[in-house]
Structure 1
Amino acid sequence: MRKQLIAAAIGAGVALASPAVFAQQDLNFDEYRAMLEDGNPAELYEMEGEELWKTARGPKNATLEQCDLGLGPGVVQGAAAQLPRYFADADKVQDLETRLMYCMEKQQGIDPAEIVNGKFLQGERRQMAALVAYVVGQSKGEKIAVDLSHPKMKEMYALGEQAFYYRTGAMDFACSSCHSQDGKRIRATQLPNITKPEGAAAGWGSWPAYRVSNSQFWTMQHRLWDCFRQQRTAEPIFASDVTIALSVFMAGKGNGAEAQWPGVKR
């Protein structure tokens, strides 16, 4: 019933405020997003994610209420603003999705393969998106504060920077092809300049986001996957090192800026 209510509410919101309507009125998408802020449909995913966080699931029939996102077991407030980070218990750098996967496996017994090999917005991947919405919603307005001091964080930052400039695929594109200059856009989408702190903050601090054009909530893992797809190159494995490294690079460059999670996109 909850999913039906979410679908109905989102559908109604999109019908009432489609991009085409605003284009006809000659309004830009910054104004459009601002008008949606008070009623961001991502709030419905946040509600679903909070329920999932507190619901016993998986072979171990346990909740995620003791999941440590970096600030202590069960602490969600402000946690997303400090991710990705190095976790000693896993001995690796993890972003929000990979940390949630770790908790789901350790505490609930849910096999990470169900998420890694799943399809976006289906099954456990959909559950993941809802959990992400809930967690990032608890850091809205917080300052991005990613700790880059650990050697493995420094290693990931360097890998992310290398991946950002690496040209590949049929079009010989890199992330930097779209995100290394001011004032660039694709159709109605404004492209942040990730090479500058303010651009990195705008890119990192506004995803995950609800996408009005397809009535879907996208996590950062989903966003990065789609960037690779648009480069016409090999699509990354969900939660692979290159996706985490790119997140460390963006988050690290955006340190100190205010996060606007979850965002609203075209």
Structure 2
Amino acid sequence: MIRKSVYFLAAVAVSAAAPAMAEGSATDEIARYRQLLADGNPAELWEMRGEELWKAKAGPKQVSLEQCDLGKGPGVLKGAYVELPRYFKDANKVMDLEQRLIYCRMNLQGLTLAQATAVPFGAAGKQSDIEPMVAYITAESKGMKMAVSTSHPEERRAYEIGKKIFFYRAGAHDFACATCHSVDGQRIRLQDLPNMLNQRDAQAAYTTWPAYRVSQGEVRTMQHRLNDCFRQQRFPQPIYGSDVITAVTMFLAKSADGGVFNAPALKR
């Protein structure tokens, strides 16, 4: 019922915007469309479910995730996401939010890796636990500025690897992330493609993920966004929670330093 309402609102918004399409650019109309829907962002439902999952006792050990340390101390969520990815001493590696959630589900709740990553992305007939928790956790950093550290050697290493992957061309179409996201003014169909080498673009793009995608009726995380980029480049699909995705995320997050975080947002 919720999804039907969302699609109805989307249809109304598009219909209302149609007469103005001749006067304004497609980009302006897409922005207006998002604004019309923003007050009732369904991502709030994912946030509520995420809070329940975060506080619920689960796994073989029957404990909650409230002692999970996301970088600012056990259970501290405020401001945690805007400093991720980061180096975690207990794991001896740089982790993004989703990697860290997997780690906590395994080490605190006693889940196996297979159990902790069984359903990373929601789809028809499947409900993800990860996406709601990501929505809940990231919402706790809304309004705060991105402040990703590269002071630790492993953080600098992750950044440099992510940068190399961003520019690496391969696959059937000889694409790289940079093919679409290193030039000003590019678009695909009606969608503007942010230039991630331009700090303003990087800030505007990165700080609006995760997001509720109207076309899919789901909240989508940064892992999902990058996974889909690899798919469109015709690259092999990355393993969920892989260091490859974390490295690219590190490069993008650092590029967005200083931007005000405003997610979960709303996307087409």
Contact 1:211 1:265 in 2 (8 A): yes
Tell me by how many angstroms 1:23 deviates: 5.5
Equivalent position of 1:213 in the other structure? 215
Query: Does the residue aligned with 2:128 lie in a helix, a strand or coil?
Result: helix
Equivalent position of 1:59 in the other structure? 60
Q: Which amino acid aligns with 2:64?
A: T
Tell me by how many angstroms 1:204 deviates: 1.4
Equivalent position of 1:109 in the other structure? 110
Contact 1:183 1:190 in 2 (8 A): yes
Question: Aligned partners of 1:124 and 1:63: how far apart in 2?
Answer: 22
Query: Does the residue aligned with 2:52 lie in a helix, a strand or coil?
Result: helix
Equivalent position of 2:25 in the other structure? none
Distance 1:259 1:154, change over 3 A: same
Q: Does 1:15 align with 2:8?
A: yes
Tell me by how many angstroms 1:71 deviates: 0.7
Question: Aligned partners of 1:175 and 1:128: how far apart in 2?
Answer: 25
Contact 2:102 2:117 in 1 (8 A): no
Equivalent position of 1:5 in the other structure? none
Which residues of 2 match residues 28-177 of structure 1 at below 5 A?
A: 28-116=29-117, 118=119, 120-121=121-122, 126-177=128-179
What are the Cα deviations for residues 130-187 of structure 1, in whole angstroms up to 9, with x where unaligned?
Answer: 1000000111111001111100000000000000000111111100111011111111
Q: Which amino acid aligns with 2:15?
A: V
Q: Which amino acid aligns with 1:87?
A: F
Tell me by how many angstroms 1:215 deviates: 1.0
Contact 2:14 2:33 in 1 (8 A): no
Tell me by how many angstroms 1:214 deviates: 1.5
Equivalent position of 2:196 in the other structure? 194
What are the Cα deviations for residues 35-66 of structure 1, in whole angstroms up to 9, with x where unaligned?
Answer: 22221111110000001011111111110111
Tell me by how many angstroms 1:10 deviates: 3.0
Tell me by how many angstroms 1:11 deviates: 2.4
Query: Does the residue aligned with 2:108 lie in a helix, a strand or coil?
Result: helix
Question: Aligned partners of 2:199 and 2:81: how far apart in 1?
Answer: 18
Contact 1:144 1:254 in 2 (8 A): yes
Contact 1:203 1:250 in 2 (8 A): no
Query: Does the residue aligned with 2:39 lie in a helix, a strand or coil?
Result: helix
Pick one of 231, 240, 258 that aligns with 2:242.
Answer: 240
Measured on the aligned residues, the alpha-carbon RMSD in Å equals: 1.7
Q: Which amino acid aligns with 1:226?
A: D
What are the Cα deviations for residues 185-206 of structure 1, in whole angstroms up to 9, with x where unaligned?
Answer: 1112211100111122122111
Deviant stretches of 4+, over 4 Å: 122-125
Q: Which amino acid aligns with 1:35?
A: L
Unmatched tracts of structure 1, length 5 or more: 1-7
Question: Aligned partners of 2:127 and 2:237: how far apart in 1?
Answer: 17
Distance 1:102 1:119, change over 3 A: closer
Equivalent position of 1:178 in the other structure? 180
Question: Aligned partners of 1:37 and 1:78: how far apart in 2?
Answer: 23
Question: Aligned partners of 1:142 and 1:174: how far apart in 2?
Answer: 31
Distance 1:135 1:63, change over 3 A: same
What are the Cα deviations for residues 94-147 of structure 1, in whole angstroms up to 9, with x where unaligned?
Answer: 000001111111111122223445462169971000100000011111100111
Q: Which amino acid aligns with 1:34?
A: Q
Equivalent position of 1:228 in the other structure? 230
Query: Does the residue aligned with 1:160 lie in a helix, a strand or coil?
Result: helix
Question: Aligned partners of 1:148 and 1:21: how far apart in 2?
Answer: 46
Distance 1:172 1:115, change over 3 A: farther
Query: Does the residue aligned with 1:56 lie in a helix, a strand or coil?
Result: coil
Query: Does the residue aligned with 1:15 lie in a helix, a strand or coil?
Result: helix
Q: Which amino acid aligns with 1:24?
A: A
Contact 2:172 2:234 in 1 (8 A): yes
